Structure 1
Amino acid sequence: MPRPSRDYFAYRTFTQADSLRGTLGPARANYDVTYYELHLDVDPVEQMIDGYVDMDYRVTGPLPLLQLDLYENLDIDRIEQGGNTLRYTRKGNAVFIQLPAGTEPDTMTHRMRIHYGGKPTEAKNAPWDGGFVWGLDQRNRYWVGVACEGDGASLWWPNKDHLSDEPDSMLISITVPDRLFVASNGNLREEVELENERKKRYDWFVSYPINNYNVSIGIGHYTHFSDTYRAFDGEELELDYYVIDYNLAKARKQFKQVHPMLEAYEHYFGKYPFWEDGFALIETPYLGMEHQSGIAYGNQYMRGYLGGLIPDDMDWDYIIVHEAGHEYFGNSVSVADHAEMWVHESFTTYMEALYVEFHYGADAARNYLETQRRFVANEEPMLGPLGVNFTDFKSSDHYYKGAWMLHTLRAVINDDPLFFGMLRSFYQDHTRSIVGTQDVIDYFSSYSGMDLQSFFTQYLMHPTVPVLEIRQTGEEVEFRLSADVPGLAMPVGVYIKDEPVRLLTTEIWQPMGNGFGLDDVRIDESRYLVDLSRQQPKR
């Protein structure tokens, strides 16, 4: 697969810490995590955590040292396996553990326990900046949340902090002062009163593979209410909502939007992917995050994005629609490297437009996409450098430009049953799996019967979009496509004196026609993310 030039990312200096976090060296690649148990006592008064993690894993290759990840501001008390205390060294946020003799590649599952604690990283601006949010609700009661995409789950619990390795399941056991409630991913298995300590323990279980950054907790004065969604085949999905007690009435009204959202996404992609764990929204003191089967919700029960970002004639909650879209792309279909986050964000941002199309119509969806076009920056590639935990994109192009790339591809294919069949088949064939950029390109090329390598290379690996160049030669107007990728050819829709025309563009000049001038030609900007360059004749 072609790679974007690192020259585009020269502003970023990559360190040894970046490589330790982003690279799959032998100390990470040669073992596979199958299960985590996170046991944690959270003290919202002192803003401290203390506990341990049990990690079940299998050795798949030579493993003299095993690398785990835990931010260096958190202390490790000891690491145990099979009754032995293991030696380890730390290098920044990486922990290198000496395994017992005889730990060889086989089918045997080993369990390692890491005792740790301390004062975890506090988020400065969650969810964009990772860490704990030690908040207060409107009644000055403790309200705690965690968001860690990009920064990594290792900012609050030890794990193999690489997107390529998801556990098959996970237990999340959190102890807090007894007046507080803990909401988390999956299903609540047990709620235990620790009477002598005036504490309560909440045990949540996730029965599906889960990205480490999707593991989260909400701690506060929550009240719970539930609902069910009936799928097209009649099967019922459990819906659970955890909201601060004084917001119950608002939540009951706002969360009615979950039904039409699930209906739209089921129409295009199929049933909700984490059915047995249910769908949940957990109110948080930050805007939101796609935490699997326990989505963080902090949009303050407003339309759009805190009251804005969507057209005035629409009334839907952006956080519900966008973050739930990530249950499909991001949580179910996942990538192994943050540099390929376009797969998560581009598809999910386009799902917003599909939600609009399903409920408001195709014209409204195109109008919605046009409102996002102003956010396309074209500063750098949407695909970042691999293997260095790259998350520092300058713009939101992997959201908005990526959605427009998919919308442009829809116009290029010019066959909606084929396009939507391709989206649905790709999703269903990769449900609960990890994909890469080339997997998307190869699948879409095969399904559509079109070689889409050059198309994706241009939009993903170069900052600029293709340019339709037109020039006047005598009485005739000519056109060609200018791009960074040699030989790129694609249909482009234009209007000539307001008449729609579909041009089969290549890098070679071709006649467009006569009887009109350059100013009579414009791109169909409701369907194509392509620039136009008018080359005025020399005088």
Structure 2
Amino acid sequence: MKKTLFILCCLVATVSNAQNRDISSLSSGGKLQPLQVIMDIRHYTINLNVDLTNKTIQGATEVTMVLSKNTDTILLDLVNLLTIQKVSVNNKAVKFEHKDHKIYITAASPFLQGKQLVKVEYGGEPPIAVRPPWLGGFTFTKDRSGNPWVAINCQKEGARIYTPTKDHPSDEPNEGVDMMITVPDTLVVSGPGLLQKVTKSKGKKTYHWKTNYPMSTYTMVFNIGKFHVASDEYTTINGNKVPIQFYILAEDSAEAKKIIALKKRDSQVLEKYFGEYPWVKEKIGICAVPNSGMEHQTNITFQNKFVYTKIGESDYNANLFHEYAHEWWANKVTNKDWAHEWIQEGIGTYAEALIHYDLGGQEAYDKIIDGHKRSIKYIKPMVGGEEMSEDETYAQTDIYTKGSFFMHSLRYVVGDEIFFPTLKKLATDPQYTYDNMVTTTDVEQLFSKAAGMNLKPFFDFYCRTTNQIEIVVKEVGYQKYSIKVNNAFMKLPFEITSSEGVSKMMIDKEGITITSKTPPQVDNKGYYLKKVQTL
């Protein structure tokens, strides 16, 4: 009986420990805590030793911030699975409480308005990814040759899974990130920005990566592997020369040349529509990982599958292209709040339609747009409110495909002569890029001004509802038909196909009446999300 009881207690302890390591409730963003509203993060310095045998990390992170007013508490985010040894502010040890995945830092006297340097010394076992990159954490695995291979993904949970941060999309480190990662000397670390130096000591190497650009904390990660670095150079649309570095597994190095060639081609297409590559002072980076790729800034990850489809006569890899499009839409143009995630995911997905047009013509464009339309689930709006967490927006979402189709519809409404220059302005104007985050309202106001019309009802209909345009075609006399939009919200152009041919007509809540020997067809080419009823 005692033995049985002992075994039972051990099992309960094991289950309890496993449950304690569950981070499924974590989600980046949401309503910003008042204590964090007053914090402006300027820089992160992350210095970690990664123990691959025990799957642990140990080191320190320094957070440089500016406080907008005096406060008795500084609040940072860090997962409870890691243990804090010490916290200091401006080189003075201070008290702290680590609970609910947050660090509450206090001192004998208030922290004063202005610059503060917070250093957190910590370590332990970081969470293990359950289904990366969607359910994130660390992935400790091996390549086909048996070499250690480590990836980090944390868009849902935030960078708090491995480093103290202010984990909210509205605040990026304006002055960039320094990252010093120590690993066994047989391995290589890829990271954001440019590699400053590699220091070797006692069988280990420390890789110092540095970016001077602001970046979202969920892209502020590194990867470890037996990497071969394949290098090249790309000349941007503005004539700047940018290094290309592909951190590819040594066993796959023969595949690097083709991936880099595709990356150059994709760069030309993306620059054509969205302006110069955003990080010309650093690099175009690619890193092989054992999961679907992610938009990690200047270190875009790529699943280690060298499989291509055809657009026309050209090879294409959808994951490689989509994640690269995020260098413009997510990394350069960043949603201020996860509620507006459609901006980066929807426009990033629409970029796929544009490269299909460039490589395969109108037929290829129409096919992928139709695929996006057919995949829309209409379960919840793309924008479900404000101050939402990543989970709240992402779960059962249409932000990818409906976001793309919304761009397709908007293009039709305002015309190519307005749409493309305005989209490029959104991707290049300092008002919307780098340090300045955007919301749906910002995008709407930009397009409304450019088009000279109030597009708010159009944005609200597509972004804040799950409705479709309800069109009713009714025979009202001999060869006469009325066409009405039952849920009209503004006057919109529609292509009407009748016995007289195809005409573009404006329809508002009053509708129109036309003469046709045959029942008219509305929006045959599919510019809108709609339902058509013929009476």
Please tell me whether the aligned partners of residues 72 and 109 of structure 2 are also in contact (alpha carbons under 8 angstroms): no
Contact persistence 2:70–2:110 (CA under 8 A): no
Tell whether the 8 Å contact from 2:230 to 2:256 is kept in structure 1 after alignment. no
| 1:452 paired residue number | 455
Shift of 1:82: 2.7
- Kept in 2, the 8 Å contact 1:273–1:431? The answer is no
Structure 2 partner of 1:479:
483
Aligned residue number for residue 169 of structure 1 = 176
Cα distance in 2 between the residues matched to 1:190 and 1:227: 19
Other structure's SS at 2:113 match: coil
The residue that corresponds to 2:121 in the other structure is 115
User: Secondary structure of the equivalent of 1:101?
Assistant: strand
Deviation at 1:111, TM superposition (A): 1.0
Partner amino acid, structure 2, of 1:459 = Y
1:136-147 to structure 2, matched below 5 A, reads 136-147=142-153
8 A contact 1:150–1:338 mirrored in 2 = no
Structure 1 residue aligned with 2:18 = none
Aligned to 1:389: 389
1:78 is the counterpart of 2:81: no
CA distance in 2, matches of 1:202, 1:293: 16
Tell me the C-alpha RMSD between the 2 structures: 2.0
Distance in 2, matches of 1:269 and 1:20, equals 27
Cα contact 1:206–1:277 (8 A) shared by 2: yes
2:443 maps to which residue?
440
State the Cα distance separating 1:460 from its structure 2 match: 0.4
The residue type paired with residue 283 of structure 2 is G
User: Are residues 183 and 18 of structure 1, via their aligned partners in 2, closer, same or farther at CA, if it must alter by over 3 Å?
Assistant: closer
Q: Name the counterpart of 1:179.
A: 186
Cα distance in 2 for residues equivalent to 1:431 and 1:346:
17
> SS at 1:424's partner residue?
helix
Aligned counterpart, 1:350: 350
Distance across 1 between alignment mates of 2:261 and 2:168: 36
Separation in 1, partners of 2:511, 2:29: 48
Aligned to 1:14: none
Q: CA deviation at 1:453?
A: 0.1
Secondary structure of 1:144 counterpart: strand
CA offset digits 1:103-127 (Å, max 9, x no partner): 2223xx2211001111111111111
Match of 1:11 in 2: none
Question: Distance in 2 between the 1:99 and 1:383 partners?
Answer: 40
Give the C-alpha shift of residue 164 in structure 1. Answer: 0.9
8 Å contact 2:73–2:110 — kept in the other structure? no
Give the Cα separation in 1 of the matches to 2:37 and 2:377: 36
Which residue, 504, 507, 510 being the options, matches 2:509?
A: 507
Q: In structure 2, what residue type is equivalent to 1:159?
A: T
Deviations 1:248-289 (A, max 9, x none): 111212321011111111111211011111111000111100
Summarize the Cα distance change of 1:46–1:312 in structure 2 as closer, same or farther, 3 Å threshold. Answer: farther
> CA offsets per residue over residues 350-393 of structure 1, 9 Å max, x none?
11111222333333222222232221111110013322414243
Q: Deviations over 1:304-340 (max 9, x none)?
A: 5xxxxx7687630112211111000100010121121
The one of 300, 305, 321 aligned to 1:300: 305
Checking the alignment, whether the CA contact within 8 Å between 1:480 and 1:510 is kept in structure 2 is yes
The corresponding residue for 2:532 is 533
Instruction: Name the CA distance, whole Å, in 2 between partners of 1:243 and 1:300.
Output: 11
Mapped partners of 1:18, 1:282: distance in 2: 26
Q: Which AA in structure 2 matches 1:507?
A: K
Letter of the structure 2 residue corresponding to residue 461 of structure 1: R
Structure 1 range deviating more: 273-282 or 464-473 = 464-473
- Using structure 1 for the length normalisation, give the TM-score: 0.89
Aligned pairs for 1:482-497 within 5 A: 482-483=486-487, 487-496=489-498
How much has 1:522 moved relative to structure 2?
Answer: 4.4
Partner letter of residue 438 of structure 2? V
Q: C-alpha separation between the residues in 2 aligned to 1:170 and 1:257?
A: 29
The aligned amino acid for 2:482 is E
What does residue range 294-333 of structure 1 map to in structure 2 within 5 Å? 294-298=299-303, 300-304=305-309, 315-333=315-333
1:362 partner letter: Q
* Separation of aligned partners in 1, 2:265 and 2:316: 10
Specify the code of the residue in structure 1 equivalent to 2:510.
Answer: I
**How far apart in 1 are the matches of 2:481 and 2:338?**
44
Q: How many residues align?
A: 505
Distance 1:114 1:358, change over 3 A: same
From the superposition, tell whether residues 330 and 19 of structure 1 become closer, same or farther in structure 2 (CA, over 3 Å): closer
Matches of 1:495 and 1:141, distance apart in 2: 62
Deviation string for 1:60-94 (max 9, x for gaps)? Answer: 12422111001111111111123322212234112
Amino acid at match of 2:300: I
Conservation of the 8 A alpha-carbon contact between 1:90 and 1:96: yes
1:290 alignment partner, SS class: coil
* Equivalent residues of 1:480, 1:508 under 8 A apart: yes
Amino acid at match of 1:480: K
The 8 Å contact of residues 288 and 296 in structure 1, kept in 2 or not, is answered as yes
Unaligned runs of 5+ in 1: 1-16, 305-309
Partner of 1:491: helix, strand, or coil? strand
Q: Take 2:32 and 2:276, find their aligned partners in 1: how far apart are those partners?
A: 33
Match of 1:356, SS state, is helix
